Structure 1
Amino acid sequence: MTVRAELDGHEFDLAALARHFPTGDPRIVNDDGRTYLEATALDEVFNDGAQLVATASDLLARLNGHAMLDDAGYRPVKLLNRFVDGAADTHLVVGDQAGAREHAVVVAVTAEARLGALVAGVAVDGVPVTPTPTGLRQLARAAANSDADDLLALIGNAGALGWDPLWKALEIIKVAVGGKASLIPTGWVTDDDLDEFGYSANHPDASGADARHARRPPGGRIPNRIMSIEEGQQFIRDLARRWLDSL
């Protein structure tokens, strides 16, 4: 791997993504204060600006998807459309029209305060232990399972996890396991969980303008508990991890 795509995002998110994908193909590398996505797939399309951006975008969506499912505080990072071929010492900038040229990149960044730690871990007998990265394992599952691939791409491209992408994520998982009748026996969710999530996601009485629908059809049971958007996000994160780990 010699081609790198430069990434842009908050330092905490860039560091988190690097922890998820420190080795392998693809991987996230830090060099001279910048963060890059490095992958063999980029080497193969370096001379085609449009394809280079498309390939990098597809890869990054899946990496972002995994990180968003694994970490509630993670916000997706973005491509700068600046690529570096280390073997040829060539820098490539791809513009809106997929035109490539040698150039310096100037990026305007809005300052934003974020609280968090650059390194997360647990302590065993008082000694910090960094968790084993699971990113490549999830990417391997996605490469072998189109439903898993669709899920990571959906989450990674969503930007923010509102009710619409959360509902679509549930649909992917539910169909993949064979429907609700097959999902419930797994023990991952209950009937009440699904009712609460569905009502919260779809009905304005529960989620206002953020709900998927503008009106609630007459009739139907109102669940005892209404999920907040944060609870809905965590519900899907937990379900997605259990399903992916079962593949």
Structure 2
Amino acid sequence: MNSALYAILGHEFDNPELLQEALTHRSASHGRDNGYERLEFLGDRVLGLCVADMLMQAFPDEPEGALSRRLNALVRQETLAEVAEGLGFQDYIYVGKAEDDSGARANPAILSDICEAVIAALYKDGGLEVARAFITKYWRDRLEKSSRPPKDAKSSLQEWAMARKLPLPEYEVVDKTGPDHAPVFTIEVSVRGREPARAQGEAKRNAEQKAAELLLERLLKEAKS
């Protein structure tokens, strides 16, 4: 395994196969399980634990709701993909030729999954403190960047509806296109009595956020006119 990658991760693996598994997309797994997917499952939990602990220490007076919004922003796909791309993980991914030709290395969903799988590999090879050191190094600045907890578009749209005593917004998948490794979802969000909005994203959650943002922006403009 490349020593440059060990330097990026801050850990030299006793079991390099763990890291290789974390970097292997199912298209290159040659029938061995599902590549990084099981590690991704574990890495998601390790990341959530470490970031939640960091938030508890950094914002000791904030209520649970505010901490949850901060956590969601720090562990969402966009943040993970940004970290992975910034560290150059795309250069180390094992991926099938067809997927490579179609741009899988630049796919935010794949980069996000790889990042979680690498965190799991660090945890399994070196323990929680090794994984925590990696997470602290690359998430601390993001955690400290905002003095106020973020409010995502879905939450804001829900609050808008509740303030007007309307039912909660409803989200529906109206289309799914693209290959399995890079799906594109079209989501429609509606609030009773208002024209719905649609948006696309490489994950349902992302598409929902974009649709909510579009609808909320339109509703706020209508209120001002």
- Taking structure 2 as the reference length, what is the TM-score of the superposition? 0.27
Between Structure 1 and Structure 2, the one with more helix by share is 2
Query: Of Structure 1 and Structure 2, which has the larger fraction of its residues in strand?
Result: 1
Q: TM-score, normalised by structure 1?
A: 0.25
